[in-house]
Structure 1
Amino acid sequence: MTSPEPFVLVERPRPHVALVTLNRPERMNSMAFDVMVPLRDVLNELTYDNEVRVVVLTGAGRGFSSGADHKSAGSVPHVTGLTRPTFGLRSMEVLDDVILALRKMHQPVIAAVNGAAIGGGLCLTLAADIRIASADAYFRAAGINNGLTASELGLSYLLPRAIGSSRAFEIMLTGRDVDAEEAERIGLVSRQVPAEQLLDACYDLAERIAGFSRPGTELTKRTLWSGLDAGSLEAHMQAEGLGQLYVRLLTQNFEEAVAARKERRAPRFTDDK
């Protein structure tokens, strides 16, 4: 008997670029544990794959991810013998780990939002570093529509930082849809592109990022996220300064950039002296 196709696919469409695809299109790539556990494991593996400089995350079929699967949630690992409250806590921990894995990846992550990003699916996009949407994409903070809170998986933390507090309050408290055009206008995504151009647009962006210094991109990602978390400007500026000194003193990439501009050529960055 042929084994079923995995719920998470990993491809290498271009050098130094990994494409991770949620592959349960018949359920709009909902966040069943049978999908989220392998996604967590794939992300934890890719972060240490030094051939990969940028990760692109997308969904198969017509949806990015429709959030919680209310019909077939799948199996949660390591919960045998637990009572219902503790089972719930462990279940949420698995999903939390996916969001944190995206944020902690050494590589920048681009969310190629090809369709619906609902509830937890919206959270997945917000945990990525960059979001590019197809014209068919739309976003919804769905918890409020289901008699729950709209706050889940970091949404009430990440969304205000992405689009501002007033817009985040409105979207989360009304449960309305945000289409790709509005998402671009309010800064929820960097831009929208025609559906057939979505992956190539993400790959082109990934290749540009991959052409820069590895420690430069890794530290830029870290300081951007730490800036969103920072308790004070002064503390954040110190972290920025240390990162800049690290790259400046331990690589020759600055000198290479200066030489390349002088010689009117593309720089050839390396990660060591």
Structure 2
Amino acid sequence: MTTLQPPSYSNEIKVAFPQEHVLLLTLNRPKSLNAITPTMTADIKAVLDWFDNEPSLWVAIITGEGRAFCAGADLVAWNKRQASGGAESDQQSIIDSVDGFASVSRRYSTCKPIIAAVNGGAYGGGVETILNCDLVVASENAKFALPEVKRGVVAVQGGMPRLSRTAGHQLASEMLLLGKTITAKDAAKRFGFVNKVVPQGEVLSTALAWAAEINANSPDAVQSTKRALLLATRNGSIEEAVIAHMGSKESKRAFTSENIQEGLKAFIEKRKPSWKNPAKL
């Protein structure tokens, strides 16, 4: 895996390959609680776009350096833009940024699973980022909040519709209208956007174990399945979602790949399948 060559990036993120087929992306501004800057967003976009197109990488894990996962937007920089009359440009940049906050919160292009390993507090855009990940493991001391209304701003980067669908209108309102901070336990049991809560020292190892479980399956089938999940949020009925999925590039690849042949053959022969990297779409 050390032969992989990601695009260049600043020291505001870290990139590693801790096990086969796995990308680990770490937000690396611990003194600022990993608040997202334009540089960090550009770095994450470049790395995740590359990840999308690298056949040997099948799962990404996103975590934070230090005691926080992500404090959201850099409000100091936002205040400077607002003071200089940048409100309209801020609105337009949100519309134009198809991948959303930190190039993750509205990312739709990738059909590869993304796991959030929440090592500490997640606030504002940090929560919006988590809500667009496929699996979320959080430390026992993690906190979550969408406090935008307390600062006169709005959680507009995909967090509101996703939280409403996951938690329901009333629970979503509890976080969004009150700006309320919730515990990892509540995020898992009441609000439903955390899969598992673990001790602080087990967050990353749990995410890596999940990645290994995912990668024990056919990458073609996994990526086709994620595309189906994404399409389910964009289509009005089950029938429309099924038809859209069957017409997708990921579905066509899954039905015609070497991996479907290998999976069926391994079942007949009562052995573990040996998966190959998916063909580029």
Question: What TM-score, normalized to structure 1?
Answer: 0.85
RMSD of Structure 2 on Structure 1 (CA): 2.7
Assess, with a 3 A threshold, how the Cα gap between structure 1 residues 75 and 268 changes in structure 2: closer, same or farther.
farther
Identity of aligned residues (%): 28
Q: 1:159 aligns with which of 140, 163, 169?
A: 163
Q: The residue matched to 1:13 in structure 2 has which SS?
A: coil
Question: CA, structure 1 residues 75+108, in 2 after alignment: closer, same or farther (shift >3 Å)?
Answer: farther
Q: Distance in 1 between matches of 2:106 and 2:254?
A: 28
**Residues 12-21 or 261-270, more deviating:** 261-270
Shift of 1:134: 1.3
Aligned to 1:146: 151
| d(CA) in 2 for partners of 1:87, 1:237 | 38
The answer to whether structure 1 residue 27 and structure 2 residue 29 are counterparts is: no
CA change 1:73–1:32 in 2 (3 A) is farther
Give the counterpart of 2:274 among 261, 268, 271. Answer: 268
SS of the residue 1:44 aligns to: helix
1:192 positional shift: 1.1
- 2:175 maps to a residue whose letter is I
The answer as to whether partners of 1:34 and 1:75 remain within 8 angstroms in 2 is no
In structure 2, C-alpha distance between the alignment counterparts of 1:172 and 1:6, rounded to whole Å: 32
* Residue-by-residue CA offset, 1:73-104 (whole Å, 9 max, x unaligned): 5999xxxxx97344323543457261367432
1:214, distance to aligned residue in structure 2 (A)? 2.3
From 84, 89, 92, the equivalent of 2:91 is 89
> How many pairs are equivalent?
263
SS at match of 1:171: helix
Which structure 2 residue ranges, 5 or more long, are not aligned? Answer: 1-8
Pairing partner for 2:132 from 120, 127, 132: 127
Deviations 1:33-70 (A, max 9, x none): 23222222221222112221100001100101001222
The code of the aligned residue for 1:185 comes to K
Query: What is the aligned partner in structure 1 of residue 186 from structure 2?
Result: 182
1:1-273 alignment to 2 at 5 Å? 6-72=11-77, 84-92=86-94, 93-94=96-97, 96=100, 98-99=103-104, 102-149=107-154, 151-186=155-190, 187-242=192-247, 246-247=252-253, 249-270=255-276, 271=278
Label 1:100 to 1:118 Cα distance change in 2 as closer, same or farther (>3 A): closer
Q: Give the drift of 1:164.
A: 2.3
TM-score under structure 2 normalisation? 0.83
Between the aligned partners of 1:75 and 1:203, the Cα distance in structure 2 is 39
Moved more, 163-172 or 217-226: 163-172
Cα distance change of structure 1 residues 44 and 258 upon mapping to structure 2, 3 Å threshold: closer
| Letter of the 2:130 counterpart | T
Q: Contact 1:215/1:247 (CA < 8 Å) preserved in 2?
A: yes
More deviation, 253-262/213-222: 253-262
Q: Structure 1: how far apart are the matches of 2:258 and 2:48?
A: 30
**TM-superposed deviation, 1:241:** 4.1
Q: Distance in 2 between matches of 1:198 and 1:185?
A: 18
Please state whether the residue corresponding to 2:56 is helix, strand or coil.
coil
Alpha-carbon spacing, 1:5–1:75, altered in 2? closer, same or farther (3 Å)? farther
Report the Cα offset of residue 182 of structure 1.
1.1
Q: Report the CA distance between 1:161 and its aligned residue.
A: 2.1
Secondary structure class of the residue paired with 1:229: coil
Code of the aligned partner of 1:40: K
Alpha-carbon distance in structure 1 between the residues aligned to 2:48 and 2:79: 20
Could you report, residue by residue, the CA deviation over 1:3-44 in whole angstroms, capped at 9, with x for unpaired residues?
x97001110011110000110000000022232222222212
Is there any run of 5+ residues in structure 1 with no aligned partner, and where?
77-81
**Larger deviation, residues 34-43 vs 134-143:** 34-43
